[in-house]
Structure 1
Amino acid sequence: MFSKACEYGIRASIFIATKSSQGIRVGIKDVAKEIDSPEPFTAKIMQILTKSGIIDSSKGVGGGFEVSNDAVKSIKLIQIVDAIDGDNIYKGCGIGLKECSEIHPCPVHNEFKQIRELLLAMLTKTTLQELALGVKSGDFFLKTLNKSE
């Protein structure tokens, strides 16, 4: 549903927020490893998230990525999705037609419209803090566990 970049961006934001809540800044290598993403691709995603004001970045010794305690409470999942994928996922046609509307619907228009509305509602109400707290508590996870784990 989301692009691979967006999936990684969401995971990276959650990971960084989780670490930030512990007062820890994380470097690009740690982010890439945790979200199981190639480091160069992760760096591009982090650049987008930083330019969008979702993630803070500081250079030098002790630098890295973080999210302030105030920001993590107000950042909504929709901001991450919009920064990376734009709004097409909850506005565009379910099968990718350029022209799809109530007047000229595609074959999946009515069903997909309901899904888009539910997705938009979830993205709009879910905060980065909620997701980070879920990971921190162990209710959610960011990585697939190996069978031996």
Structure 2
Amino acid sequence: MFSKACEYGIRASIFIATKSSKGIRVGIKDVAKEIDSPEPFTAKIMQILTKNGIIHSAKGVGGGFEVSSEAVKSIKLIQIVDAIDGNKIYSGCGIGLKECSEEHPCPIHHEFKKIRGLLLEMLTKTTLEQLASDVKSGDFFLKTLNTND
């Protein structure tokens, strides 16, 4: 449903928010490792998130990425999705047709329209603080457990 960049952006934002709540800034290497993303790709995603005011970047010794305690409470998941993927997910066709509408629907148009509505509602209501809190509690995870370790 989301692009790979958007998935990484959401995971990176949650990871950074969990660290920021402890007063810790994280570097690009740590972010990339935690979200299991290639470093150069992660750097591009972080640029987008910083440019859109979701993440703050500090340069120099002790620098890194962080989210202020005020911002983490107000940032909604929809802001991260819109910054990376835009709003096509709320209006695009479920099977990728260029033209899909009420007058000319694709085979899944009506059901997908309901799903898009629920997705939009979830993205609009969910804060970065909620997601970070869920991860900090240990009830939810940002990456798959590697059973080969």
- For normalisation by structure 2, the TM-score amounts to 0.98
Partner in structure 1 of residue 63 of structure 2:
63
Q: Matches of 1:148 and 1:20 in 2, distance apart? A: 30
Secondary structure of 1:141's aligned partner = coil
How far 1:148 sits from its partner (Å)? Answer: 5.3
Q: Matches of 2:139 and 2:75 in 1, distance apart? A: 20
Secondary structure of 2:129's aligned partner = helix
1:35 is aligned to 2:67: no
1:88-111 CA-partner distances (Å, limit 9, x unpaired) = 111111111121111111111001
User: Letter of the aligned partner of 2:55 in structure 1?
Assistant: I
Calculate percent identity across the aligned residue pairs.
85
Q: Matches of 2:147 and 2:97 in 1, distance apart? A: 41
Partner in structure 1 of residue 16 of structure 2:
16
Secondary structure of 1:122's aligned partner = helix
Secondary structure of 2:57's aligned partner = strand
Runs of 4+ in 1 over 2 A off after TM superposition: none
Partner in structure 1 of residue 88 of structure 2:
88
1:94-130 CA-partner distances (Å, limit 9, x unpaired) = 1111211111111110010011001000000000000
Partner in structure 1 of residue 141 of structure 2:
141
Residue ranges of structure 1 left out of the alignment (5+ in a row): none
Residue ranges of structure 2 left out of the alignment (5+ in a row): none
1:6-34 CA-partner distances (Å, limit 9, x unpaired) = 00000000000000000000000000000
User: Letter of the aligned partner of 1:19 in structure 2?
Assistant: K
Q: Matches of 1:140 and 1:97 in 2, distance apart? A: 35
Q: Matches of 2:140 and 2:148 in 1, distance apart? A: 19
Q: Matches of 1:84 and 1:54 in 2, distance apart? A: 11
Q: Matches of 2:76 and 2:139 in 1, distance apart? A: 19
How far 1:73 sits from its partner (Å)? Answer: 0.3
Secondary structure of 2:147's aligned partner = coil
Partner in structure 1 of residue 79 of structure 2:
79
Secondary structure of 1:57's aligned partner = strand
Aligned-CA RMSD value: 0.9
Structure 2 counterparts to residues 38-53 of structure 1, below 5 A = 38-53=38-53
Q: Matches of 1:144 and 1:97 in 2, distance apart? A: 33
Aligned residues: 149
User: Letter of the aligned partner of 2:39 in structure 1?
Assistant: E
User: Letter of the aligned partner of 1:25 in structure 2?
Assistant: R
- For normalisation by structure 1, the TM-score amounts to 0.98
